[in-house]
Protein backbone atom coordinates (compact mmCIF):
# COMPACT_ATOMS: atom_id res chain seq x y z
CA UNK A 1 0.00 0.00 0.00
CA UNK A 2 1.39 3.37 -1.01
CA UNK A 3 1.48 6.33 1.31
CA UNK A 4 -1.41 7.89 -0.64
CA UNK A 5 -3.95 5.12 0.11
CA UNK A 6 -3.51 3.52 -3.32
CA UNK A 7 -2.16 0.04 -3.95
CA UNK A 8 1.06 0.27 -5.92
CA UNK A 9 0.76 -0.95 -9.55
CA UNK A 10 -2.76 -2.29 -8.85
CA UNK A 11 -5.26 -1.43 -11.64
CA UNK A 12 -8.32 0.65 -10.68
CA UNK A 13 -11.08 2.62 -12.40
CA UNK A 14 -11.86 6.33 -12.00
CA UNK A 15 -15.65 6.21 -11.51
CA UNK A 16 -17.88 9.26 -11.84
CA UNK A 17 -20.25 10.12 -8.98
CA UNK A 18 -22.94 11.00 -11.51
CA UNK A 19 -26.00 8.68 -11.60
CA UNK A 20 -24.81 6.62 -14.59
CA UNK A 21 -21.47 5.82 -12.85
CA UNK A 22 -19.39 6.15 -15.99
CA UNK A 23 -15.61 5.75 -15.89
CA UNK A 24 -12.67 7.75 -17.22
CA UNK A 25 -11.17 6.33 -20.41
CA UNK A 26 -7.95 7.35 -22.16
CA UNK A 27 -8.77 8.33 -25.73
CA UNK A 28 -5.58 8.20 -27.72
CA UNK A 29 -2.49 9.08 -25.71
CA UNK A 30 -3.73 12.41 -24.40
CA UNK A 31 -7.51 12.85 -23.96
CA UNK A 32 -9.72 11.59 -21.12
CA UNK A 33 -13.47 11.05 -21.58
CA UNK A 34 -16.29 9.49 -19.53
CA UNK A 35 -17.47 6.18 -21.00
CA UNK A 36 -19.54 3.15 -20.01
CA UNK A 37 -17.53 0.63 -17.97
CA UNK A 38 -15.94 -2.29 -19.86
CA UNK A 39 -13.85 -4.15 -17.26
CA UNK A 40 -11.27 -5.66 -19.63
CA UNK A 41 -10.58 -2.40 -21.54
CA UNK A 42 -7.04 -1.26 -20.68
CA UNK A 43 -7.84 2.35 -21.63
CA UNK A 44 -10.21 2.50 -18.62
CA UNK A 45 -7.69 1.14 -16.13
CA UNK A 46 -5.22 3.30 -14.23
CA UNK A 47 -2.54 2.52 -11.64
CA UNK A 48 -0.39 4.36 -9.09
CA UNK A 49 3.31 4.38 -10.00
CA UNK A 50 5.42 4.52 -6.80
CA UNK A 51 8.59 5.67 -8.57
CA UNK A 52 7.09 8.82 -10.15
CA UNK A 53 4.23 9.20 -7.61
CA UNK A 54 1.77 9.69 -10.46
CA UNK A 55 -1.36 7.93 -11.73
CA UNK A 56 -0.67 6.29 -15.09
CA UNK A 57 -2.86 4.79 -17.77
CA UNK A 58 -2.67 1.01 -18.03
CA UNK A 59 -2.78 1.27 -21.83
CA UNK A 60 -0.42 4.24 -22.22
CA UNK A 61 2.16 3.41 -19.54
CA UNK A 62 4.51 6.26 -20.46
CA UNK A 63 1.81 8.86 -19.75
CA UNK A 64 0.42 10.18 -16.45
CA UNK A 65 -2.79 11.98 -15.53
CA UNK A 66 -2.45 15.73 -15.54
CA UNK A 67 -4.94 18.45 -14.63
CA UNK A 68 -4.92 21.39 -17.04
CA UNK A 69 -3.60 24.75 -15.86
CA UNK A 70 -1.29 23.30 -13.18
CA UNK A 71 -4.20 21.75 -11.28
CA UNK A 72 -6.51 24.76 -11.40
CA UNK A 73 -8.99 23.28 -13.89
CA UNK A 74 -11.66 20.56 -14.11
CA UNK A 75 -10.14 18.98 -17.23
CA UNK A 76 -7.90 15.92 -17.21
CA UNK A 77 -5.39 14.90 -19.84
CA UNK A 78 -2.56 12.41 -20.27
CA UNK A 79 0.94 13.81 -20.66
CA UNK A 80 4.38 12.27 -20.85
CA UNK A 81 5.40 11.45 -17.29
CA UNK A 82 7.73 14.04 -15.81
CA UNK A 83 6.83 13.66 -12.09
CA UNK A 84 6.90 17.42 -11.60
CA UNK A 85 5.10 18.67 -8.50
CA UNK A 86 3.32 22.01 -8.44
pLDDT for the residue 75: 85
Query: Looking at the DSSP assignment, which residues form a beta bridge with residue 67?
Result: 76
Residues facing 38 on adjacent strands: none
pLDDT at 46: 96
Strand residue runs (E) in the chain: 23-27, 31-35, 46-49, 54-57, 63-67, 76-80
| Cβ–Cβ under 8 Å, residues 22 and 35 | yes
Question: How many Å apart are CA 4 and CA 48, to the nearest integer?
Answer: 9
Written as tens digits, the pLDDT of the chain (86 aa) is 666 788 999 999 999 998 888 999 999 888 999 999 999 999 999 999 988 889 999 999 999 998 888 778 888 899 998 765 54
d(CA 61, CA 45) in angstroms, rounded, equals 11
Amino acid sequence: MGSYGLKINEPFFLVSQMPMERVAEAIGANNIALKTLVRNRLAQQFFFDQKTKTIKSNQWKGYSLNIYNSGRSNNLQLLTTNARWF
